[in-house]
Structure 1
Amino acid sequence: MRGNAHRYTAAGTGLLLVSTMVALAHPMAGEASAATAPPGAAADPPAVGAGLDWAACTDLEAPKGIELECATLPVPLDHHAGGRSAVVEIALSRVPARAEATDALLVNPGGPGSGGRFLAARTAGSLPGDLRDSYDVIGFDPRGTGASTPAVGCDPDYFTAPRPDSVPATADDERLMVKRSRTYAEACERTGGALLNHMRTTDSAHDLDAIRAALGRERIDYLGYSYGTYLGGVYATLYPERVRRLVLDSVVHPDRSWYQGNLAQSRSLEAAAGRFFDWVARHDSAYGLGDTAEEVAGRYYATREALRARPVDDRIGPTELESTFLVAAYAAQAWPFLASALADLSNDNRPARLVSAFDRMGESPDHDPSFAAYLATECTDAPWPRSWQRWRTDARGVHADAPFLGWYNIWYNAPCAFWPAEPGEWFQVDGERVENALLVHATGDGPTPVGGAYAMHRRFPEARLVIEDGGLSHGVALRGNTCVDDAVIDYLREGRLPDAGGTPDGGDLVCGARPEPEPRKPSPAPQRQAAPDPGVSLGSAPPSTSGASAGFPVIPAIGALARINR
């Protein structure tokens, strides 16, 4: 799914929530810009310890008290061509050590398709003082994303709202969506150029080692979330002797290529949505949407149907609703705000909070570069079915099991059925030669089902797995769970891992979950109403979205559907 770039976090499985989406202006096809310029002329790869020209960042803001620097690193477009290859530039960020830098911690939020430079400052701000003193924390925009050049982008109008309903009601609806997917892939062929053939995870893993070399480090420490766990696993397989510490959080299943992984993800997201509906039902006095999960789900789907007939603000239809409420399956912190938005609209025909939620969490036209980069990686990491009949059969099966996002996730990935660049074979992660690693996962993680953590654990025999039992969100490390954070900090600081074999199902350390969020009561207090009639108006949004909660948290992307990903 997608992995949101900067709004939320998700992993490369279909939905890209990646942190709050990276807003990148993408020129129309045919216009020249740095973002769409072709790869540069052939050049030798950087020498080990060649150094980087760090300077104050001009396009990133750091929290107060955090020093943030930026640089760029030229790397071969084709790492196997050596000096004969054209070059691309990787955009980097650094929070320098406050004292003498003894190690470098490279961080990745997930995706694919998400820029990651923002994560350096956020991670540094979560580290204890002694690690802040000794670590250079390094963020990077993987090739084709963010400020790295050239960047991928295909059709800036693709996400113009309202989009067609993701759930096809007729054969004509389905044909329209297939055409949209094919047309998007064709647009990528026109704009992507040679870069489309070099966007695999293995390419980014080689870039990661080029960053290590330019930093002058023999080994690196790495913290990856969501899709970043697969990137970290691939890097550790290719360069096991260059890994000092490896933390993988919200782990992608290493045995499933993206097509199969996305089908499994849709079912996992369904379970996560069920936990959201159950929470809303347990706080019926606050939201008035029903006192059972089934009732709340019914209100959600009735609202979805009403939006099909009449979008809010002429732009928020059923697909935009899904794009927004997807976040409920990624981050429990979003539940109060989303529940309030649904209650306001469903109970009182007040759309302002939904408009605010969509503007913060949904996909807008500036999502095109992240989406294009997401596809450029997932569509070429492994083969995809080329028969639409196969897709249709699987889509109908997954929708029957997982109506919350089943079709939505299918269409998010459907351009891969028509992708112009040849795919490689799924890379087999093998951690046999890695000295140590720490895996972290929440049992209620929707985008990356917990089975992926157990599977990755089996591939890293010297690793330990920390389970947040009952955890509800995607992304656990350095997020405020003392038990989890202590394990991560002890490992980063001293290489100390939890004792092996702590749980019968393959985990090593079990931590309790963080508390559920407290409900935010809509104002005025809701009154139970019947589900909205699809034929009645749900209102137009007022000019102001002042109904939004000022305190809603922005969660870094670990992968959202690229906004979030798995």
Structure 2
Amino acid sequence: MAAVVAATVGVGATAAGAAPVPRDQRAAASTASSVDAVDVVDAAVDFEPEPIVWGRCADADLTEMGARCAFVKVPLDYGKPRGKTIQLAVSRVRHTAKKSAYQGVVLLNPGGPGASGLGLSTFGAIFEEKVSAAYDWIGFDPRGVGSSRPALSCDGDYFSYDRPPYVPGSRAVEKAWLARARGYAEDCAEAGGELLDHVTTADSARDLEVIRKALGRKKINFIGLSWGSYLGQVYSTMYPHRMRRAVLNGVVNPEKVWYRSNLDQDLAFDRNLGVFFGWVAAHHGTYRLGKTAKAVRKRYYQQVKALDRKAAGGQIGGDEWTDIFLSAGYGTSSWSDLARLFSGWVNNGHWKPLKARFDSTYSQDDGSDNDYANYLATVCTDAPWPRDWAIWRRDNTVMHSRAPFMTWSNAWYNAPCRYWEGRAGTRVDVTGRLSSSMLLINETRDAATPYPGALEVRSRFPKSVLIEVTGGLAHSVDLLNDNDCVDGVVDRYLLTGKLPKRVKGRTSDKQCAALDLPD
């Protein structure tokens, strides 16, 4: 089985706390944005969906993999279960095992929030054959996402070329970014309307419960990556007797949803970029970018400043350069490609490969911001954000002095939350009422969902077991790089329900070695 897939998300999409935040930041964040958690253990959703009628998938790749597709109607507003409905796109690849070996349905979410999960019904193919055969694999697009109806999109051109510099060296730059953030929030208010009041993680958890009903199952199994791990926590809190087995990979810290988590994320990404610089320096003979991590770092930030002054090809400025290298913080699989781009630009002036890399992640076509719009729709309303810009300025100025790589890009990525029209809820009090076991997986130096978050969730779910990939810096354990140690535990758990023994203390229960750095 391949290791559970990594969710590649935009800056600040999911996070927790890898390193300590300065005392003044903790105070600012707690007074400005932290809210008391609310206990949202629900009675059964007062909505009875129609049984799913499976048909042909519009996606030819899904059809080729044997998937069938459908829509599930759910209430727009669960406070008005007999009011307006919306449609969630779902897909299924059926089990092939005999009835005696059938284990039920497993729903999958790739994270984001805002990432499409419809194609994950084919995910079973990466597991051991007995595991793959034993389950019905259910992919779905959360409300507002992908093929679900309506699908939220606000401004496909928002990630255009050569934007104002991320680091606000003047009030004029700061005002320009604030105007952009306000404009995007206003565009989303116009495009999303009443949907924006109903895109919290708790809403998505209720959607899972409706999908369970529509599938006709008493319980579900669940695999959640990145933000999907938080969705799994919230569902397990709200419906503790409906979860059978859960694998949460790249574990979100439920204490830090979401303003504080993004500040912590800045430190963790900066640390991982430093490891990347050291790796590039160790291969100086190939890339010719510096013989020490310090030298490579210096050269990297020289490019940011130079491209802020004059964009390469009139398109790739300092912002785009920063966005391109963000993936270095998510794991090692992109390091060779990024180092070649870095070297090609510095040593040969090749900028078109930089543009191609940027375009592959930040498309500017109509509707291409669907993932970003839905990311904001959820994180902006899961809990309140500060409205006072002075708090943002102070927190991010202090953080930038310690972690310059993505502090301000992360701040601007989330800045529309300051103006968001959707009604903010209250952070869910994630609790371990779950009667069944739960498997948690986290790499020690995961920057997007830092390791302390996994320890926090382990402490809240007494029947959970945590696998730590020691020294690893990948997010959600990279699908393309098999880790046999992790794979074996996941396969066994899904097949038999058995987990490694839970140990005492605030620690991991089993340790797996990280994969080697790329050669």
Q: 1:499 aligns with which of 485, 489, 501?
A: 501
Give, in whole Å, the separation in 2 of the partners of 1:271 and 1:395.
17
Question: 1:69 aligned to 2:68?
Answer: yes
* One-letter code aligned to 2:259: Y
Match of 1:272 in 2: 272
Give, in whole Å, the separation in 1 of the partners of 2:7 and 2:313.
27
* CA deviation vs aligned residue, 1:59-111 (integer Å, no higher than 9, x gap): 252497x312211101111122222x200100011121123454111110001
Q: 2:90 aligns with which of 89, 92, 103?
A: 92
| Matched residue SS, 2:156 | coil
Match of 1:311 in 2: 311
What is the correspondence of 1:73-84 to structure 2 with a 5 Å cutoff? Answer: 73-83=72-82
**Structure showing the higher helix proportion among its residues:** 2
Match of 1:389 in 2: 390
* One-letter code aligned to 1:491: Y
* One-letter code aligned to 1:90: L
* CA deviation vs aligned residue, 1:421-464 (integer Å, no higher than 9, x gap): 22011111111333210000001211111110001111101100
Give, in whole Å, the separation in 2 of the partners of 1:305 and 1:475.
32
> Residues 279, 341 of structure 1: CA spacing in aligned structure 2 closer, same or farther, 3 A cutoff?
same
Match of 1:375 in 2: 376
Is the contact between residue 490 and residue 497 of structure 1 (CA under 8 Å) also seen in structure 2?
yes
1:162: how far off?
A: 2.2
Give, in whole Å, the separation in 2 of the partners of 1:364 and 1:450.
34
Match of 1:222 in 2: 222
What is the correspondence of 1:78-227 to structure 2 with a 5 Å cutoff? Answer: 78-83=77-82, 85-100=83-98, 101-121=102-122, 123-227=123-227
Give, in whole Å, the separation in 2 of the partners of 1:195 and 1:421.
8
Is the contact between residue 15 and residue 412 of structure 1 (CA under 8 Å) also seen in structure 2?
no
* CA deviation vs aligned residue, 1:131-187 (integer Å, no higher than 9, x gap): 221211111110011110111121222222222221112111001111111111111
* One-letter code aligned to 2:156: P
* One-letter code aligned to 1:73: V
Is the contact between residue 228 and residue 248 of structure 2 (CA under 8 Å) also seen in structure 1?
yes
Is the contact between residue 60 and residue 118 of structure 1 (CA under 8 Å) also seen in structure 2?
no
1:13: how far off?
A: 7.3
* One-letter code aligned to 2:66: E
> Residues 82, 362 of structure 1: CA spacing in aligned structure 2 closer, same or farther, 3 A cutoff?
closer
Q: 1:485 aligns with which of 480, 484, 487?
A: 487
Match of 2:292 in 1: 292
* One-letter code aligned to 2:71: T
1:14: how far off?
A: 1.5
TM-score (norm 2): 0.89
Is the contact between residue 144 and residue 152 of structure 2 (CA under 8 Å) also seen in structure 1?
yes
Is the contact between residue 379 and residue 416 of structure 1 (CA under 8 Å) also seen in structure 2?
yes
Is the contact between residue 6 and residue 475 of structure 2 (CA under 8 Å) also seen in structure 1?
no
- Listed as ranges, the gaps of 5+ residues in structure 1 are 1-6, 18-43, 519-566
1:477: how far off?
A: 7.5
| Matched residue SS, 1:384 | coil
Is the contact between residue 144 and residue 373 of structure 1 (CA under 8 Å) also seen in structure 2?
yes
Give, in whole Å, the separation in 2 of the partners of 1:62 and 1:290.
46
Cα-Cα RMSD: 2.0
Question: 1:58 aligned to 2:58?
Answer: yes
> Residues 451, 63 of structure 1: CA spacing in aligned structure 2 closer, same or farther, 3 A cutoff?
farther
1:239: how far off?
A: 0.5
1:318: how far off?
A: 1.1
Give, in whole Å, the separation in 2 of the partners of 1:303 and 1:57.
46
1:323: how far off?
A: 1.4
Is the contact between residue 14 and residue 262 of structure 1 (CA under 8 Å) also seen in structure 2?
yes
> Residues 343, 331 of structure 1: CA spacing in aligned structure 2 closer, same or farther, 3 A cutoff?
same
Match of 2:343 in 1: 343
What is the correspondence of 1:413-562 to structure 2 with a 5 Å cutoff? Answer: 413-476=414-477, 479-501=481-503, 505-518=506-519
- Listed as ranges, the gaps of 5+ residues in structure 2 are 16-45
* One-letter code aligned to 1:447: A
Is the contact between residue 6 and residue 110 of structure 2 (CA under 8 Å) also seen in structure 1?
no
Match of 1:4 in 2: none
Flag the structure with more relative contact order, 1 or 2, with Cα contacts below 8 A and sequence separation at least 6. Answer: 1
What is the correspondence of 1:351-366 to structure 2 with a 5 Å cutoff? Answer: 351-362=351-362, 364-365=364-365, 366=367
Match of 1:36 in 2: none
| Matched residue SS, 2:255 | coil
What is the correspondence of 1:401-412 to structure 2 with a 5 Å cutoff? Answer: 401-412=402-413
Give, in whole Å, the separation in 1 of the partners of 2:254 and 2:372.
22
* One-letter code aligned to 1:495: G
1:215: how far off?
A: 0.9
* CA deviation vs aligned residue, 1:289-308 (integer Å, no higher than 9, x gap): 11211111111111112211
Give, in whole Å, the separation in 2 of the partners of 1:362 and 1:515.
29
> Residues 15, 242 of structure 1: CA spacing in aligned structure 2 closer, same or farther, 3 A cutoff?
closer
* One-letter code aligned to 2:81: G
Give, in whole Å, the separation in 2 of the partners of 1:363 and 1:273.
24
* CA deviation vs aligned residue, 1:230-253 (integer Å, no higher than 9, x gap): 000000000110111011000001
1:361: how far off?
A: 3.1
Give, in whole Å, the separation in 2 of the partners of 1:156 and 1:477.
28
Aligned pairs, number: 480
| Matched residue SS, 1:332 | coil
Match of 1:28 in 2: none
| Matched residue SS, 2:415 | helix
1:331: how far off?
A: 2.4
Give, in whole Å, the separation in 1 of the partners of 2:60 and 2:445.
32
Taking only the aligned residue pairs, the percentage that are identical comes to 41
| Matched residue SS, 1:51 | coil
Match of 2:48 in 1: 46
* CA deviation vs aligned residue, 1:101-130 (integer Å, no higher than 9, x gap): 541111100011111112221x21211111
